[in-house]
């Protein structure tokens, strides 16, 4: 079932409406997702309440339209897979107790519950109810150490399968956004895997998936190092950028939003921000062990 879930976002056509709950807030969105025979992905996601937001995904490029501020955000490597990204399925059992549970129905579709209970305090418990035929997750819950739900998602309407429908993935804002501000995240020539930073003590089970440098929207002339770690289910992102003199004495800070914890500290004149869908201890452990490679070599 986990193997099916891992490939469903790359193989299954679907469209529908889902509800996402986090940090005491509820957000309803509409999504349409199509995969062509060559493996290319076209996806459109639109929020239905609060400020309008539309996300158009074409393979690895993600374009986000924000009508309220008349802004277009472009990311050439939008790697997040909805509604879940699974990696290294064979290694998950080292850090989670995996069990098949009961059956259920979501949006009129039968689904199978699968639970992943962490073997340590560095991960959240996760439960997924997935379509047995396609593996598409129809409902998910993320629980903390007190077994409280800190994040959940569920389809309320859903159609699985069907032929490609251009109208469902066509942007409603592209034609009217010609005069909008464009903020583009550009990868630099150093995106080959060496950011110049190393992690001395990675949380057990977490391995590096990506390492690059990029320019960030709204920060012209500033290059940010970006590293991503994962245990196969939970992901942690690290952002490192030069610190301004005015904020060089900033104290470490921890905050959270739903299931996501964010920890920021200053290291060697750089601001290091670590965020992940993990307990606080996990992001703090990673943030405290990251150093410039040059400093590590000098110490040795």
Instruction: Find the CATH number of the domain harbouring 139.
Output: 2.50.20.10
Say yes or no: 6 and 139 in one domain: yes
Say yes or no: 69 and 194 in one domain: no
Which of 150, 181, 212 is at the close of a domain?
Answer: 181
Tell me, what DSSP letter sits at residue 277? S
Give pLDDT, residue 154: 97
State yes or no: pLDDT of 91 exceeds 80.
Answer: yes
Say yes or no: 108 and 242 in one domain: no
**pTM of the predicted model, to two decimals?**
0.86
Say yes or no: 151 and 196 in one domain: no
Give the Å distances, CA to CA, from 101 to 7, 107, 223: 21, 19, 46
Mean of pLDDT values over 30-34: 96
Tell me, what DSSP letter sits at residue 246? G
Which of 181, 211, 239 is at the close of a domain?
Answer: 181
200 or 297: which leads in pLDDT: 200
Q: How many CB atoms lie within 10 A of CB 14?
A: 22
Give the Å distances, CA to CA, from 292 to 59, 200, 206, 295, 297: 33, 10, 20, 5, 9
Which of 181, 199, 217 is at the close of a domain?
Answer: 181
Cα–Cα distance, 46 to 23 (Å, whole number): 20
CB of 123 closer than 8 Å to CB of 279: yes
Mean of pLDDT values over 67-89: 78
Give pLDDT, residue 111: 97
Both tokens assigned to 219 = 């920060």
pLDDT tens, 272-291? 999 999 999 999 999 999 99
pLDDT tens, 195-232? 788 888 889 999 998 888 876 666 666 778 889 999 99
DSSP for 194-245, please give it.
Answer: --SEEESSPPTT-EEEEEEEEE-TT-TT-EEEEEEEESSS-EEEEEEEEPPG
Give pLDDT, residue 226: 87
Say yes or no: 37 and 141 in one domain: yes
Q: Please tell me the total count of domains within the chain.
A: 2
Say yes or no: 105 and 195 in one domain: no
Say yes or no: 101 and 200 in one domain: no
Cα–Cα distance, 48 to 8 (Å, whole number): 24
Say yes or no: 108 and 36 in one domain: yes
Listed ranges 30-34, 180-184, 266-270; the one with the highest mean pLDDT: 30-34
| Domain span at 263 | 186-299
pLDDT tens, 147-204? 999 999 999 999 999 889 999 999 999 999 999 999 887 655 444 557 788 888 889 9
């Amino acid at each position: 079932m986990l193997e099916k879930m891992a490939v469903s976002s790359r193989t299954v056509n679907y469209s529908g409406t889902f509800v996402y709950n986090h940090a005491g807030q509820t957000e309803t969105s509409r999504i349409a997702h199509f995969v062509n025979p060559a493996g290319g992905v076209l996806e459109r996601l639109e929020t239905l309440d609060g400020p309008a937001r539309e996300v158009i995904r074409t393979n690895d490029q993600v374009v986000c339209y924000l009508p309220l501020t008349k802004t277009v955000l472009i990311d050439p490597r939008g790697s997040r897979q909805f509604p879940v990204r699974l990696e290294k399925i064979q290694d998950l059992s080292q850090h989670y107790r995996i069990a098949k549970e009961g059956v259920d129905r979501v949006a009129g579709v039968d689904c199978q519950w699968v639970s992943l209970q962490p073997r340590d305090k560095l991960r959240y418990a996760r439960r997924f109810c997935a379509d047995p035929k396609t593996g598409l997750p129809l409902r998910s819950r993320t629980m903390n150490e007190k077994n409280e739900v800190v994040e959940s998602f569920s389809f309320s309407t859903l159609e699985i399968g069907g032929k490609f429908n251009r109208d469902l993935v066509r942007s409603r804002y592209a034609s009217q956004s010609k005069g909008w501000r464009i903020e583009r995240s550009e990868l630099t020539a150093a995106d080959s895997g060496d950011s110049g930073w190393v992690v001395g003590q990675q949380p057990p089970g977490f391995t590096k998936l990506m390492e690059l440098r990029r320019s960030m929207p709204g920060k012209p002339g500033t290059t940010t190092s970006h590293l991503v770690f994962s245990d196969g289910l939970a992901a942690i992102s690290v952002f490192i950028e030069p610190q301004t003199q005015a904020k060089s004495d900033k104290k470490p800070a921890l905050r959270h939003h739903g299931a996501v914890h964010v920890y920021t500290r200053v290291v060697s004149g750089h601001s290091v921000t670590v965020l992940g869908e993990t307990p606080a201890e996990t992001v703090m452990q990673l943030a405290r062990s990251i150093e410039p490679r040059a400093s590590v070599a000098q110490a040795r």
